[in-house]
Structure 1
Amino acid sequence: MPVITNTLESHQYILIKDDLLFKDNINNIYLRVNEVFPGTDSLYSAYYDYLTKDGHYFSLKDIIDIDSFHQIDNTQYFKDKRAVYAYQQFPPRFDPITIIEINPEKFELLPDNYIKDDKNVYWLTKKLDADAKQFHVIKFGNMMLGVDNNHLFWSQGDIMEYKDFEPLKNILNATKFEKLKQQYFPEEN
């Protein structure tokens, strides 16, 4: 059974890697992540001794390579020589720590929690139906959109529908808006 705990008693747990990984007296490994209490700016640390892959639970001690394990550029992604892992606190329908199908030698970290390699694109733990070779992130003011040749992706990696795109008319210049509309929503022309 996975363990989630908000505190670890310092006399029972030993720091083993970069203020991220801890070990208890029976050799379980815990990953410490900082979380925000919902609706506040208050941080607390949570410790996880498990991760998931394809809906199955695995003990951290059985999966990760401690020596090469590290956080990627202060993001919600972690990596070791075997895999890339994503941490996602919200929405709650996702397991917090997941192995994602990204080649750890070929991945590219993109803005707004997107990550890709030559075959797959993810927004945190969510695999997208996107062309990895064409996928990139564009910024409009404070908003970022993932794009490939077929879709615009927004909020949590969801494919944008025209009803969501249309209000961007007020943000984008007319030329950019029309160009994107023709490419991604030609039926609306």
Structure 2
Amino acid sequence: MQDHCLEVVAYRVADPDRADHERRLALDKIRSFPGFLAWTQLTGTGEAAQRVDLVAWKSEEAALSAAREVGEGADFAGFRATIGSVASMGHYAANRPAPVGRLAGDGMEIGRFRLKAGVAEADMRAAHARMVEQHLSRQPGWLGQRLARLESGTFLDIAIADSRTRAIAICESWQGNADCEAFLALIEPESMEFGELV
């Protein structure tokens, strides 16, 4: 899996209610930025003026590009105006997938499957990682993907996208892709469902 980037910003706001509103608006805008994965918005438990934002990106380049836009772009002027002072800001590499935001309206696809006879789990997992790295993570709207092993011996492939429509489109992109075909050659699909978080 490629390195992901986590942006951590600690700051204070003058008007917490207005800051909450502007932060929600900023999230709505930034979700469409290339490479965006998640934005965890924290507020101080003892002081509502204290804020920490954890923003996950697919790459440092995506994080830095977005930081420039948020810092200078007219679309984020209202958000910037609520910030009284910035205590710290930094970008950090993550050698595992960055945290995936789970927001109402995010789409998901859950595929249930078994391994074909004679296929080792390690081989399936390696093929899955290649497929995610080389193809799925590069699709518009993709937010994250996880495998789960159930007690029954079946597996779940859980994909999160920024909408149900995008989740379906990403699933349709599997057809004809060599990395996806290599993964599919190792498994016996049982079911597939789409939905969205509420």
Q: Normalising by structure 2, report the TM-score.
A: 0.30
Q: Normalising by structure 1, report the TM-score.
A: 0.31
